[in-house]
Structure 1
Amino acid sequence: MAKAASRRAAVPASFFVKVILPFAVPFALTLALMVLVGERWPRDIAPGSGLKLAGLVASALTAALVWRYTVRAIEDRRVHKAAGILCLVTGLMGWAVWTTGVLPSINGAALGSESTVRMRLERTEVTAVSKSKERYHWAWLRTDLNDAALASGRYFIPEGHYQRWQASKPASVEVTYARGLLGAQVVTGFR
């Protein structure tokens, strides 16, 4: 009797494919958005206006739905537990993909009215793109207002702005922004 209780649990061949879905789903959605939408929807989220909590909720919901889908026909509680742990791990991996891939694109699908705020330019910076010769260009911007709509921090800027700002060293710049579909502030331009 004890030998029968300690038998290995039998899982369907699709078990391991299903438990990676909490990571694969946002990854596939990100690729689909890249192909179908491209750069038509603005994605530059202002510092402090991110979608981390929304990404965590989307990731948790995806992991829970995948777990339920994976164990629906399996009665062994040990398999339920293993599937839960694997869905949790792959869901946490998917959190970053939701937060930086899918949700910024959806947020930029519909923007509210644009506003402009003046910010102090502290410095500019260049970082290397991983495994590439390309470079990212950044500006460290600070606001003097405590209740400013945009937070101080590092903003992604186009290379042309970087070159102009390096040459002219302006004390301040104007940042144009709008509230996105999911509530995060989207930077739409610099002057």
Structure 2
Amino acid sequence: MRSYVSVCALLFLITSIAYGQTSFTENSFLKTENSIIESAADSGHHYTLLEAVKAANLDKILNEDGPFTVFAPSDMAFRKLSKVNLKELLLPENKKELFSLLTYHIVAGNITASKILKALCNGNGKASFTTVQGDKIFASMDGLDIVLTDKAGNKAKITSADANQCNGIIHEIDSVILPNSLSAANLP
């Protein structure tokens, strides 16, 4: 047990340093006075997410309310989904499914990478977080990377962490994760 705690402490220190170096330093993500929506728009690589957020009428909430932690798929992450599925999800008749997908990437509160790591250490390498959609996402480590997993086994790595905003935190992820109500086979 003592050795596991030591490993967690070392992992926490190393990962905090690593994520500190790979956070959103290139863009306005460092402007903590910006909202989640404003910073995502300024990032230059969340256009698909913004289009989906607007189609699901979540833009006002993510622009004003909070705090929220958003696991934000990049444009590249959305390209991993079938283009047909994404286009269909953006149609007005699929608003409910799109809303479910997007809210599965949002957790209430400010959950920093260090809080995720602490939860992982307390959970012997596993942690879960309940999204505002209602389903859980699961966190684990793969080397020095924090990896999120949905119930279907889809994985997304946090590629850039801890972009603090006036109404929450953004963590960029490299894949889109899916709630229980949607799976790769069930997407419209």
TM (norm. structure 2) is 0.23
Q: Which has the higher Rg, Structure 1 or Structure 2?
A: 1
TM (norm. structure 1) is 0.22
